[in-house]
Amino acid sequence: MISENAPVESILVRDFSNKSIDLIKKYQGKAILLLIYNNQCLGCTGRAIPLAYELQKENKEVQVIGIHTSFNASQVTESDIKSIFTVDVLPFPIFLDNGRTVYDQFDSSGTPQWVLITKEGKLSRTIFGSQEGAQNRLYYAIEQLKEN
């Protein structure tokens, strides 16, 4: 578990070609909002993904990134990920967390789990959920993230 304000050394995920990517290096110098989710989670697909899309449009200085976490051995494909969207082009980058490594790295309580990282690469906050209370905490956390 990484504590708030501690540096996040790396966040290792896979792209759809199964290439390993470190999100901290890839988005260095930019504030990051991670959405750890799963396609089978109705709160994720019904509320969190649309909210993440809106947040990306409203907050250009914050990079929204989706991380699909798999809780079993089955591999998720790009078409599996795209199947929940009404358009063929993803609204923000989405990567794969096979084996739930990132999910465990941030001691997630379930999905959706939001992780905010400052442009300096420090953990700002984590928020579980997609209902109104979680959304309000997320809005405040993003404003705080943009101020720093």
Q: What is the CATH number of the domain that holds 134?
A: 3.40.30.10
pLDDT band at residue 88, thresholds of 50, 70 and 90?
A: confident
Q: Residues 105-128: pLDDT tens digits? A: 999 999 999 999 999 999 999 999
pLDDT at 75: 80
Distance CA 86, CA 88 (A): 7
pLDDT band at residue 72, thresholds of 50, 70 and 90?
A: confident
Question: Residue 64, exposed/middle/buried by CB under 10 A (0-12, 13-18, 19+)?
Answer: buried
Looking at residues 63-79, what average pLDDT do you find? 90
Residue 6 lies in a domain: no
Distance CA 101, CA 26 (A): 18
Structural domain range at position 65: 12-147
Domain count, the chain: 1
Residue 83 lies in a domain: yes
Please report where in the chains the tokens 């089978």 appear, as a residue.
Answer: 40
Residue 137 lies in a domain: yes
Residue 5 lies in a domain: no
Q: Are strands 94-97 and 20-22 parallel, antiparallel or unpaired?
A: unpaired
pLDDT at 30: 95
Residue 3 lies in a domain: no
Looking at residues 76-80, what average pLDDT do you find? 89
pLDDT at 65: 98
What's the pTM value of the predicted model, to 2 decimals?
0.94
pLDDT band at residue 146, thresholds of 50, 70 and 90?
A: confident
Token pair of 73, please?
A: 């051995």
Angle between helices 132-147 and 49-58 (to 10 degrees): 30
